[in-house]
Structure 1
Amino acid sequence: MSAIPQGRRTRRAALVGAVCALLVTGTALTGCDEDPDAGTNGVGKLAPAKIESRSRTAADSADAVRLSGTVVTSGRTYTLDMRLKSDGGTGSVTSKGATFGLLRVGEQLYLKADAGFWSQADGGDAKDGGSAAAGKLDGKYVRVPQEDPAYKRFSGFTDKDVLLDGLLTLHGTLATAGHHEQSGVRTIRISGDKGSGGTLDVSLEGTPYPLRLVRAGGAGTLTFTAWGENFDLTRPAPGDTVDYGRQLPSS
């Protein structure tokens, strides 16, 4: 059989494409459906549990990540914007209208906030010198003692492994929930119990990193970016650091 000339093949391909584009009835033509996994990393063709496993492995193996969004725990909503890696993290946390910065370098944790935050934490009583103390802490990195209960509560926001282990969990029976897009990146979405157990968008491009998580029970929505992008973590200068004492205000 003689080969079809190149020009004829091109015209035929163009004709098929035009027919597919113009098809508006319910009748499907063989070859018109585009494979949504074409040119991807292939995880979209895997079973949901395997997709979840691949995404967890990718997250655990990454040197760094940026995490932003909301987390609801014990009835309290936290808005996070954190950059994390194995030896620490930095970023901001907002809760009940108050925003504070966190920085952890190794085992040393620092909290940074304005005078209003510290005044509120101290009860805002000017008679006991609370306002004066808050002024001294304004914009400074306050070292959080490791024996302080606040250390355990806040250091978790700066620990990549602890935070991801606690967040990247879907509940119930897993299923795929279609192909989607997150910030211009194609994703495959998996869900727990048809969405009531949370949903997770996993990248179909390059490494199958988690890109977006909707937690079960309305417990927050998070996005994950800058996977593997290193950043500097340095202790603040002594002049920018204040040692609050043995314990931060309990509130």
Structure 2
Amino acid sequence: MTALPQGRTRRAVTVAATCVLAVTGTVLTGCGSGDPDAGTNGVGKLSAAAIQAKARAAAAKAPTVRLSGTVVSGGTTYTLDMRLKSDGGTGSVTSRGAGFHLLRVGEHLFLKADAEFWAHEDGGSGGKATDTAAADKLEGMYVKVPTGDPAYKRFSGFTDKDVLLEGLLGLHGALDKDGHHEQSGVPTIRITGDKGSGGTLDVSLKGTPYPVLLGRAGNAGTLRMTDWGKDFKLAEPPRKDTVDYGQQLPAS
């Protein structure tokens, strides 16, 4: 057998190695591939409807998630940073310049805010009036929200993983794909509703096809979804840090 010249041998070995790496997904281009889905979870090759279904299923199955960004509802903009799991959640919400912390463990919902949040002139909103002195005492305390209080329904939704994701992940109108993108270093495939006016959703092409970034229809906010499956501690606050008003919260 005639031996190849040394230079040609090296080139042949280099080409062979490159092709092996491309097949294993370490290199996404080379050997004439050019496939943007090479080395990914393959979701990008599916139809937009199938991608949405995969993302919804992955989100429903995940035990935890972190949601951060903005949601516009009823003309009000809420800025969220919530960590959620099946039996509750914890995090911060800011709206109309007022910020507060929410914590829900099972059915027990707690709200913590500063004195300014609780202070007001009268009880016109339906709750008990809170004077300045009382508001000062509530600052930094976890106030237990009664299940029958209107605030419970309004705020508990921010701590409910299933309710939030079910309401947020739907796109409106005809679904379509809008190419490959990248979010915080994660390759994604983007799907749209009504060419974007019905919302956009970036789905991870790395590992499990989790939703990564949501642009809500009608410019109703943008939410980033991270820390899928990453566990965190969720426990009720100590009694010394808790205030229980019984059946009705102070108005705020």
- Structure-2-length-normalised TM-score: 0.86
Amino acid at match of 1:226: D
**Residue 187 of structure 2 corresponds to residue 199 of structure 1:** no
The corresponding residue for 2:27 is none
3-state SS, counterpart of residue 119 of structure 2: helix
Check the 8 A contact 1:199/1:213 in 2, yes or no: yes
3-state SS, counterpart of residue 103 of structure 1: strand
Amino acid at match of 1:221: T
The corresponding residue for 1:190 is 191
CA distance in 2, matches of 1:237, 1:150: 22
CA distance in 2, matches of 1:160, 1:13: 48
**Residue 34 of structure 2 corresponds to residue 34 of structure 1:** yes
CA distance in 2, matches of 1:12, 1:82: 49
Amino acid at match of 1:64: T
1:121, CA displacement in angstroms?
8.2
Equivalent residue in structure 1 for 2:12, among 9, 12, 28: 9
- Structure-1-length-normalised TM-score: 0.86
Amino acid at match of 2:143: V
Structure 2: give runs of 5+ residues left out of the alignment.
18-29, 124-128
Q: Percent identity?
A: 68
CA distance in 1, matches of 2:15, 2:81: 52
1:8, CA displacement in angstroms?
3.3
CA distance in 2, matches of 1:217, 1:90: 28
Q: After the TM superposition, which parts of structure 1 deviate over 3 Å for at least 4 consecutive aligned residues?
A: 2-6, 10-14, 30-33, 120-123
The corresponding residue for 1:172 is 173
1:228, CA displacement in angstroms?
0.3
CA distance in 2, matches of 1:95, 1:192: 28
Amino acid at match of 1:172: G
Check the 8 A contact 1:66/1:227 in 2, yes or no: yes
Q: What is the RMSD of the two structures over their aligned residues, measured on CA atoms? A: 2.5
1:243, CA displacement in angstroms?
1.2
The corresponding residue for 1:150 is 151
CA distance in 2, matches of 1:86, 1:66: 12
The corresponding residue for 2:22 is none
Cα deviation per residue 1:32-64 (whole Å; 9 max; x = unaligned)? 562111100000000000000000000000000
3-state SS, counterpart of residue 155 of structure 1: helix
Q: Matches of residues 37-186 of structure 1 in structure 2 within 5 Å? A: 37-120=37-120, 130-186=131-187
Structure 1: give runs of 5+ residues left out of the alignment.
15-29
